[in-house]
A and B are shown apart, each in its own frame.
Chain A
Amino acid sequence: MSYAVPSSGHRPVKPFWPPFAAGVALGLVLLLTFVLTGHGLGATGASTRLAAWLGMEVAPAATTANEYLGPMTEGGNPLSSWISWQVVGVAIGALVAAFLGGRLRIQFDGARSVGTGKRVVTALVGGLLSGFGARVAAGCTSGLGLSGAATLGIAAFVFLGTFFVFGLVVSRLVRGV
């Protein structure tokens, strides 16, 4: 089976960076972040603030009364924080990289292998598990796993350990993409 991509209207697809080079680059970006800010990179700090903001838009009374989201709404707009801007940066960086690499495609990825209906469910359920889990651990693969491990934090290695074990086991039980 060939994977020739229609050449019309698309930039040529460039290969991904070799893993070692990509890892060194990622490590240097992480180090730069620590030097500039005193903390590492993250993601769910922003989605949690997005949840707090959405809560304020839809049900302000319930959101301010909520023990978890309430405190985030006290200092004004929950979205105005370093981590929200950082995730905006991730979006810009990914868009530029995908465009320059000829890898920008509007698609419903995974639909070809498991079907569109099932792919909607797996993406939604996967996100739900991940969103809940990241709140329990107070961090995700980037914020706790990657950044925490760079500071030699014990919690990060525990997180990465169960992350890989459960990923391996669950991927044998469920085909998500």
Chain B
Amino acid sequence: MFPFYDAGAISALVCGALFGFVLENSGFGSPCKLTAQFRLSDWSVLKVMFTAIVVAATGLWLMRVAGLMEADAVYVPTSLLVASAIGGALVGAGFAVGGYCPGTSVVGMFSGRIDALVFIVGLVLGTFVFAGLYGPAIEAIMAMGEVQTGDTFSDAWGIPDWLLIAIMAVALVAVFHFGSWFERRSRGPVAADEAVAGAGPADVSDRA
């Protein structure tokens, strides 16, 4: 029966190295490419992330259906809706301003980007600010809006896993379709040579 619940350094290094390898090859070390998602000229972030979610969710579901994995065998984040919404908003704003999210800043730094190191310094500072303010008030806000019936759509509202995955698969097709349409109407995805040259949106927008 899976999973193995391995907590050792080897599995961490292997999974992390594969993660970093794929992210860099996706172009996600480049802040210019990452933020082009929010300018709607490069949909790689949504396309890659959404595809990965559908693939992994389908794999986990198939393992549950085949009896290889218990329903509650993997960690599911607690359904704290207010904390997730505030956190998502701040990480999204930080992504738009700073050009990275926490994971991609590591990829940026190890593809040679010094600005990614500055972002990581900011990450640690943000953690200190949070720790400094942490107390009953923040805890109360973070505990708000919890879905009491469960953490997943099936537990909380009885939506079957296969139905949710099917809806996501349809949405994935839509993301590729409309994303590519937006890309054709704008300057299009940031290519590897442009990303390596540190091309900013001002440099690349005139390249019709």
Please state if A109 and B151 are interface contacts (CB–CB under 8 Å): no
Which residues does B use to contact A, with CB under 8 Å?
Answer: 2-9, 11-27, 29-33, 35, 37-40, 43-44, 46-57, 59-60, 63, 73-81, 83-116, 118-132, 134-135, 138, 141-142, 147, 151-154, 156, 161, 164-165, 176, 191-203, 206-207
Residues 78-111 of chain A, each 1 if its beta carbon lies under 8 Å from chain B, else 0: 0000111111111111111110011111111111
Q: Does A8 contact B (CB under 8 A)?
A: no
Question: Smallest CB–CB gap between A151 and chain B, Å?
Answer: 5
Question: Smallest CB–CB gap between B72 and chain A, Å?
Answer: 10
Please state if A40 and B75 are interface contacts (CB–CB under 8 Å): yes
Question: Smallest CB–CB gap between B49 and chain A, Å?
Answer: 6
Of residues 86 through 143 on chain A, the ones whose CB sits less than 8 Å from some CB of chain B are 86-98, 101-114, 119-120, 122-142
Of residues 129 through 177 on chain A, the ones whose CB sits less than 8 Å from some CB of chain B are 129-142, 144-146, 148-156, 158-168, 170-171, 174-177
Closest to B20 in A: A93
A60 CA to B86 CA, complexed, in Å: 30
Question: Smallest CB–CB gap between A88 and chain B, Å?
Answer: 6
A23 CA to B50 CA, complexed, in Å: 7
Residues 28-70 of chain A, each 1 if its beta carbon lies under 8 Å from chain B, else 0: 1111111111111111100110110011000000000011110
Give the residue among B22, B53, B127 with the most A Cβ atoms within 10 A. B127
A146 CA to B169 CA, complexed, in Å: 15
Please state if A101 and B192 are interface contacts (CB–CB under 8 Å): yes
Contacts of B197 in A (CB 8 A): 3, 5
Give the residue among B39, B81, B90 with the most A Cβ atoms within 10 A. B90
Sample of 14 A–B contacts (CB below 8 Å): A16-B44, A26-B19, A27-B59, A29-B18, A33-B15, A38-B74, A85-B16, A94-B111, A97-B111, A108-B113, A109-B32, A112-B200, A133-B86, A137-B91
Please state if B122 and A127 are interface contacts (CB–CB under 8 Å): yes
Give the residue among A24, A31, A42 with the most B Cβ atoms within 10 A. A31
Question: Smallest CB–CB gap between B25 and chain A, Å?
Answer: 5
Closest to A31 in B: B59
Please state if B16 and A86 are interface contacts (CB–CB under 8 Å): yes
Please state if A90 and B89 are interface contacts (CB–CB under 8 Å): no
